C-alpha cells in the first residue's frame, strides 16, 4: 500500500485527492482519505490577455499553501500535480511554476490535452461494468473539454482515442455570454462557437461504437445536482446518477435563463461556478445533441471520479 497525493489545477478550480492505493487482483484499489476543491479561477482573463492575473495567482497560492499542510499531516509519500489549459496558454507561466515549487515542493506538469483525457478516462470508468463499453468520457473544464473513447479490458483501461477541444465554461462565458442572463443572440453565438469546436473534436475521436457516455468534473456534476433538485450538493447522490438528453436540455435552458443572483440562490451550485455554469451547461448540452444525432446515445452517466483518481493511480 502507498499513500499518494494528486493535485489537478485547471482553469477554474484546483483540487486535491489524498488516497491509499493497494494492488488487488492485478489492479489498483483507491481508498479516499481526503478530497477537496477550491474555485481559484486561475484562467481569469487568460483568453483575452494571454497572462495569469496577479489576483488569480494569489488565490491559487492560498489554496496550495493549505493543500501542502494537508499533504504533510497525512504523511503522503508521493505527489503529482498536473496543470492544464490555463497553464498551457499563459505567457507568465513561470510565475505559476515557481509558486508551485515554493508551496508544494514538486514541479507542476503541464500535460497535453491527450494525456489529460487519458487520466480522466482511467479515473472515470473504474466503477462501471466493462460490458457497458466502449465508453466516451467527457470532461468539461474551464478552458477546455476532453473527449476520450476506450474500454475496460481484463480490469485495465484501454484508451483508443482522445482529443482536447479549446472550449470550456470559463472560455465560452468570457467570449460570448456577457449578459446577465445572456441574451438570445449571445446564446446563439456561443452555440455556434461550441458546435464548431466540437465538430473538430468528433472528427478526431470516432464515437460510432460508443455504448455509454460518462460525464465527469465539476460542470457535469453540478448539472446532475441541479437536475436531481438537490437542496445541497451531495456527491453520493450525484455519483453514477443518470441524466437523459432531455434532462440535459432542460437544465441547460434553466441555467442560461437565470441571472447570476438566481443561480446564487441554488444551494447545490458552488459559489465559484455561479457566473460560468451556464456556459458549461451549454457545452454539455452541445455534446448531448451531437451524441444523440451521431450514435443515438440518449443518456449520460455522471461520475464523481475523474482525472484526480487517474493521477493518483499513475503514481501508485
Weakest mean pLDDT among 59-73, 151-165, 191-205, 288-302: 151-165
Instruction: For 137-163, give the DSSP string.
Output: EEEE-SS-EEEEEEEEETTEEEEEEEE
Instruction: Tell me what pLDDT residue 278 has.
Output: 95
Band (pLDDT 50/70/90 cuts) for residue 250 is very high
Range 65-74 average pLDDT? 97
Instruction: Tell me what pLDDT residue 111 has.
Output: 84
Residue 182 DSSP code = P
Band (pLDDT 50/70/90 cuts) for residue 31 is confident
Instruction: Tell me what pLDDT residue 243 has.
Output: 96
Question: Helix, strand or coil for residue 6?
Answer: strand
Report the share of the chain in percent with pLDDT over 90. Answer: 67
- Please state whether the peptide bond connecting residue 181 to the residue before it is cis, i.e. omega within 30 degrees of 0: yes
Helices (H), the chain: 46-49, 54-73, 85-89, 93-103, 113-124, 169-176, 184-204, 217-227, 235-238, 245-257, 260-264, 277-295, 307-314
Ramachandran bin of 6, using left for φ above 0, alpha for ψ from -120 to 50, beta for the remaining angles: beta
- Note the pLDDT tens digit of each residue in 190-205: 999 999 999 999 999 9
Strands 27-39 and 13-24: antiparallel
Instruction: Tell me what pLDDT residue 241 has.
Output: 96
Instruction: Tell me what pLDDT residue 286 has.
Output: 97
Contact 165, 197 (CB under 8 A): yes
Instruction: Spell out the residues 6+ positions from residue 104 whose beta carbon is closer than 8 angstroms to its own.
Output: 7, 64, 67, 68, 71, 79, 81
Instruction: Tell me what pLDDT residue 38 has.
Output: 93
- Note the pLDDT tens digit of each residue in 282-299: 999 999 999 999 999 999
Q: Over 80: is that where the pLDDT of 303 sits?
A: yes
Q: Share the mean pLDDT of the chain.
A: 91
Instruction: Tell me what pLDDT residue 27 has.
Output: 64
34: closest CA among 19, 15, 13?
A: 19
Question: Helix, strand or coil for residue 110?
Answer: strand
Instruction: Tell me what pLDDT residue 228 has.
Output: 95
In the chain, the domains with their CATH numbers are: 2-110 (3.30.420.40), 127-303 (3.30.420.150)
- Note the pLDDT tens digit of each residue in 101-149: 999 999 999 887 677 778 888 889 977 888 998 999 999 988 889 899 9
- Note the pLDDT tens digit of each residue in 45-56: 887 888 999 999
- Please state whether the peptide bond connecting residue 134 to the residue before it is cis, i.e. omega within 30 degrees of 0: yes
Instruction: Tell me what pLDDT residue 118 has.
Output: 80
Instruction: Tell me what pLDDT residue 26 has.
Output: 58
Q: Over 80: is that where the pLDDT of 71 sits?
A: yes
Instruction: Tell me what pLDDT residue 248 has.
Output: 96
Burial group, residue 181, by CB count within 10 angstroms (0-12, 13-18, 19+): middle
Which has the higher per-residue pLDDT, 75 or 113?
A: 75
Q: Over 80: is that where the pLDDT of 169 sits?
A: yes
Query: Using CA atoms, how far apart are residues 272 and 97, in angstroms rounded to an integer?
Result: 24
Band (pLDDT 50/70/90 cuts) for residue 17 is very high
Take residue 134 and report the three cell numbers written for it: 466502449
Band (pLDDT 50/70/90 cuts) for residue 75 is very high
- Note the pLDDT tens digit of each residue in 219-232: 999 999 999 999 98
Instruction: Tell me what pLDDT residue 85 has.
Output: 63
Instruction: Tell me what pLDDT residue 157 has.
Output: 79
Q: C-alpha distances in angstroms, 156 versus 28, 67, 175, 307?
A: 9, 30, 39, 16
Amino acid at each position: 500500500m502507498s499513500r499518494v497525493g494528486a493535485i489537478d489545477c485547471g482553469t477554474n478550480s484546483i483540487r486535491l485527492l489524498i488516497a491509499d492505493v493497494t494492488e488487488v487482483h492485478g489492479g489498483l484499489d483507491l481508498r479516499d482519505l481526503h478530497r477537496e476543491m477550491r474555485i481559484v479561477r486561475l484562467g481569469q482573463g487568460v483568453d483575452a490577455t494571454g497572462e495569469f492575473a496577479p489576483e488569480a495567482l494569489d488565490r491559487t497560492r492560498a489554496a496550495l499553501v493549505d493543500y501542502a499542510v494537508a499533504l504533510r499531516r497525512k504523511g503522503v509519500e508521493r505527489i503529482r500535480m498536473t496543470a492544464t489549459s490555463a497553464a498551457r496558454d499563459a505567457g507568465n507561466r513561470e510565475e505559476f511554476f515557481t509558486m508551485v515549487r515554493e508551496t508544494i515542493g514538486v514541479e507542476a506538469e503541464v500535460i497535453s490535452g491527450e494525456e489529460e483525457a487519458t487520466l480522466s478516462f482511467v479515473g472515470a470508468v473504474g466503477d462501471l461494468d466493462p460490458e457497458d463499453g466502449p465508453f466516451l468520457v467527457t470532461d468539461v473544464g474551464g478552458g477546455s473539454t476532453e473527449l476520450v473513447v476506450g474500454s475496460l479490458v481484463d480490469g485495465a483501461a484501454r484508451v483508443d482515442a482522445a482529443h482536447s477541444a479549446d472550449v470550456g465554461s470559463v472560455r465560452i462565458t468570457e467570449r460570448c455570454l456577457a449578459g446577465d442572463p445572456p441574451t438570445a443572440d449571445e446564446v446563439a453565438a456561443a452555440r455556434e462557437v461550441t458546435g464548431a469546436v466540437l465538430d473538430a473534436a468528433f472528427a478526431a475521436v470516432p464515437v460510432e461504437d460508443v455504448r455509454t457516455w460518462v460525464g465527469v468534473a465539476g460542470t457535469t456534476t453540478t448539472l446532475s445536482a441541479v437536475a436531481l433538485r438537490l437542496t445541497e450538493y451531495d456527491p453520493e447522490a450525484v455519483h453514477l446518477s443518470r441524466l437523459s438528453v432531455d434532462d440535459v436540455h432542460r437544465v441547460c435552458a434553466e441555467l442560461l435563463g437565470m441571472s447570476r443572483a438566481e443561480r446564487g440562490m441554488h444551494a447545490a451550485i458552488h459559489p465559484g461556478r455561479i457566473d460560468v455554469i451556464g456556459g458549461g451547461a451549454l457545452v454539455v448540452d452541445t455534446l448531448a445533441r451531437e451524441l444523440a444525432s451521431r450514435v443515438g446515445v440518449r443518456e449520460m452517466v455522471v461520475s464523481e471520479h475523474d482525472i484526480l483518481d487517474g493521477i493518483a493511480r499513475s503514481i501508485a
